[in-house]
Chains A and B, each alone.
Chain A
Amino acid sequence: MGEKGKIVFGLAVFVILVTYPFWSRLAASGEAEAARPELDYPADASVCVEDTPFMTANHMDLLNQWRDSVVRDGVLEYTAASGETYQMSLTQTCLDCHDNRDEFCTRCHDYANVTPTCWECHTTPGGGS
Chain B
Amino acid sequence: MEKKSRREFLKETTAAALGLGATLPVVTTACSGSAEGHAGAVSEDQWAMVIDLEGAQRADVQEACVAACEGAHNLPRIDDPAEKIRWIWDEEYQHVFPDQVHDHMPEALRTAPVLVLCNHCTNPPCVRVCPTQATWKRDEDGIVMMDMHRCIGCRYCMAACPYGSRSFNWRDPRPFIETDSDGNFLSDFPTRTRGVVEKCNFCAERLRDGLQPACVEKANQVPGAEGVMAFGNLSDPESDVSRILRSERTISRRVALGTGPNVFYVV
Using CB atoms and an 8 Å cutoff, list the residues of chain A in contact with chain B.
67, 71-72, 74, 76, 91-92, 117, 120-123, 125-129
Whether A71 and B185, one on each chain, are in contact in the complex, defined by CB atoms closer than 8 angstroms, is no
Q: Given A129-B174, A129-B185, decide whether A123 and B147 contact each other with a Cβ distance below 8 A.
A: no
The total of chain B residues at the interface (CB under 8 A) is 22
Please, which residue of chain B has its CB at the minimum distance from the CB of A64? Answer: B149
Whether B192 and A127, one on each chain, are in contact in the complex, defined by CB atoms closer than 8 angstroms, is no
B193 within 8 A of A: yes
Q: Given A74-B140, A127-B74, decide whether A121 and B188 contact each other with a Cβ distance below 8 A.
A: no
Q: Given A72-B147, A74-B138, A127-B74, decide whether A121 and B192 contact each other with a Cβ distance below 8 A.
A: yes
CA distance A125 to B145 in the complex (A): 23
Residue of A74, A76, A117, A122 contacting most chain B CB atoms (<10 Å): A74
**Main secondary structure on B side of the interface with A:** loop
A-B contacts, CB under 8 A, total:
46
Chain A nearest CB from B135 CB (Å) reads 12
The 4 closest A-B pairs by CB, nearest first: A127-B185, A127-B184, A121-B190, A120-B193
Of the A-B pairs whose beta carbons lie under 8 Å apart in the complex, a sample of 13, sorted by A's number, is A120-B191, A121-B148, A123-B188, A123-B190, A123-B191, A125-B188, A126-B184, A126-B188, A127-B180, A127-B184, A127-B187, A128-B184, A129-B183
B186 within 8 A of A: yes
**Residues of B with C-beta under 8 A to A76:** 208
Using CB atoms and an 8 Å cutoff, list the residues of chain B in contact with chain A.
74, 138, 140, 145, 147-149, 174, 179-180, 182-188, 190-193, 208
